[in-house]
Amino acid sequence: MAQLSFDEYGRPFIVLRDQDKQERLTGIEALKSHIMAAKTVANTLKTSLGPKGMDKILVSPDNDVTITNDGATILEKMHVEHEIAKLLVDLSKSQDDEIGDGTTGVVVLAGALLEHAESLLDKGIHPIRIADGYEQASQIAVAHLDKISDSFEVNPNNKEPLIETAMTTLGSKIASRCHRQLAEIAVDAILSVADFERRDVDFELIKMQTKEGGELDDTVLVKGVIVDKDMSHPQMPKQIKDCKLAILTCPFEPPKPKTKHKLDVTSVEDYQKLREYEKETFVKMIKQVKDTGANLAICQWGFDDEANHLLLQNELPAVRWVGGPEIELIAIATGGRIVPRFNELTSDKLGNAGVVRELTFGTTKDRMLVIEDCKNTRAVTIFIRGGNKMILDEGKRSIHDALCVIRNLVRDNRIVYGGGAAEIACSLAVSAEADKVASLEQYAMHAFADALENVPNALAENSGLSPIETTSKVKAMQVAQNNPRLGVDCVHAGTNDMKEQHVIETLHGKRQQITLATQLVRMILKIDDIRKTHGDGRQ
């Protein structure tokens, strides 16, 4: 509905009346709407938590199927419309970008905090007091994590602690069948590129290449670069040792006249002259490359069959149509320079590699190029194999999580123990401190402690155990033995000591989980007005 009105100067303007199509929620009703949306998302992810967690199958509008239990991937591919639910998606993405792991746990914790906040709201406690109590409890929990953390030396000669941490990350993934092998690959990749003086890892030097076929067990770490290309001519050599690479971004073709005039070839003689000119230009280009001492040309652009034939005749192997990112990685790995013009190519701009070889896969026509023993040994490629695209994608996500966790340990080598052990220890610490608080925030702090127990509860439930009974038992054991390493025995190993089970998480990741979840919940509790628009009304 619209109505035409006039202002004081007689200018017309239209008043749109869509109030009848709007619904406005304020105060407690708005907060409960937020909490309901967040709880729904958290409960969806809760069943994916832990080594026995269930996978989710996600079908896109284009009917692409994804099977995963990675929290960030599930939320990213879910069609979420509620604004607060979208905040949880951003929360999971923040955890994934910063830490790489714990994306499910952070959403489950945020959902639990909001769920317990709802019962406090029903008691009449103001949302700001709840948010303040949560903030205090969060600081106590993070400080307690520092107290119960262990540290180990990140030593390239002693990889076992790093491998155990990576195995904890991979234990809940589809790739868990060969998680020892993948953990070793992830650790070797990080140690190859890590700068221990600056305590940093350059992820740009680690490339993941996938190829359908084979099994996940066939995944290997290549100390070099793999390019999904082959030699431009089938008769070119399949292996080149002591390779000097010319990395070119200029096309192997005669220069085109930069005018709008066209060239008419009216006789056979003119055509022969043009053909001779093209051939001479190709031969000159090939000679320019060979004179620098190069024995392999990597070209970003293509070249035609005549140029390809001349390259073969002049014994200069070449690779064409190599993409920009691959070109850059080859240049970094081999220490070469990317050359945009043939006349700029000199011997000092060539890249060096010990061996360049073609990789074949059984009876298929697929071939890939492996560049090994490079000048810059820090560039590595993880070559992932799998039965189909779905397995490859999940394998890639799993290895990325493991790489992120090992990177975090290089930056900060402190760890806490998984299986809900850290959450239970923090819950006990927050409860003890809450009893010393005389103000209303005490209720919120106790609620925070209870919310932390939702993580071991979910782990127990997903492992087929009685959640309340299992968590209560572990909690009592932690108090009796004063041992913060005791957690939920998800894999039925017969011991609750997570140190014995080698279930390890990074301190930085766990702190980030608690901090991010608290900050998000604090933000949600401060929003008490929401307006929804129905029909064709505008928000």
Write out the DSSP string of 203-259. GGGEEEEEEEBS-GGG-EEESEEEES---SSTTS-SEEEEEEEEEE-S-SSPPPP-S
Query: Which pLDDT score is estimated for 222?
Result: 86
One digit per residue, the tens of pLDDT, for the chain of length 539 reads 456 677 777 777 666 555 555 566 667 788 888 888 888 888 888 888 888 888 888 888 888 888 888 888 888 888 888 888 888 888 888 888 878 777 888 999 999 999 999 999 888 888 899 999 999 999 999 999 999 888 877 778 888 888 888 887 787 777 767 888 888 899 999 888 888 888 888 888 888 888 888 788 888 888 888 888 888 888 888 888 888 889 888 877 766 666 666 777 788 888 888 888 888 888 888 888 888 888 888 988 888 787 888 888 888 898 888 887 888 888 888 888 888 888 888 888 888 888 888 888 766 677 888 888 887 667 888 998 888 888 888 888 888 888 888 888 888 888 888 888 999 999 999 999 998 888 888 999 999 999 999 999 999 998 888 889 999 999 999 889 988 889 898 888 888 888 888 888 888 888 888 999 999 999 988 887 665 544 443 43
Query: Which pLDDT score is estimated for 491?
Result: 81
Verify whether residue 401 is a known catalytic residue: yes
Q: Does domain 224-376 have CATH number 2.160.20.10?
A: no
Residue with structure tokens 């999904």?
A: 228
- Best CA proximity match to 187, nearest among 210, 214, 157: 157
Query: Are domains 22-151+417-533 and 224-376 of this chain identical in fold?
Result: no
In sequence order, the 6+-apart residues with CB closer than 8 A to the CB of 110 are 38, 42, 88, 91, 516, 517, 520, 521
Query: Which pLDDT score is estimated for 14?
Result: 67
Query: Which pLDDT score is estimated for 133?
Result: 92
Verify whether residue 104 is a known catalytic residue: yes
Query: Which pLDDT score is estimated for 179?
Result: 80
Catalytic residue among 44, 47, 73, 103: 103
The total of other beta-carbon atoms located within 10 Å of residue 150's CB is 15
Q: How far apart are CA 516 and CA 141, in angstroms?
A: 13
Q: How far apart are CA 159 and CA 188, in angstroms?
A: 8
In the sheet with 220-222, reading across from the earlier edge strand, the strands are 206-212, 380-386, 220-222
Among left, alpha and beta (phi > 0; psi -120 to 50; other), residue 224 is left
Strand partners, 506: 415
Catalytic residue among 44, 47, 73, 104: 104
Please give the single-letter amino acid code of residue 155: N
Catalytic residue among 132, 401, 489, 497: 401
The per-residue b/e assignment along 454-482, b for 16 or more CB within 10 angstroms, e otherwise, is bbbbbbbbbbebebeebbebbbeebeeee
Q: How far apart are CA 113 and CA 137, in angstroms?
A: 11
Query: Which pLDDT score is estimated for 534?
Result: 43
What is 22-151+417-533's CATH number?
1.10.560.10
Domain ranges of the chain: 22-151+417-533, 224-376
The per-residue b/e assignment along 257-267, b for 16 or more CB within 10 angstroms, e otherwise, is eeeeeeeeeee
Catalytic residue among 70, 96, 132, 497: 70
Q: How far apart are CA 456 and CA 447, in angstroms?
A: 16
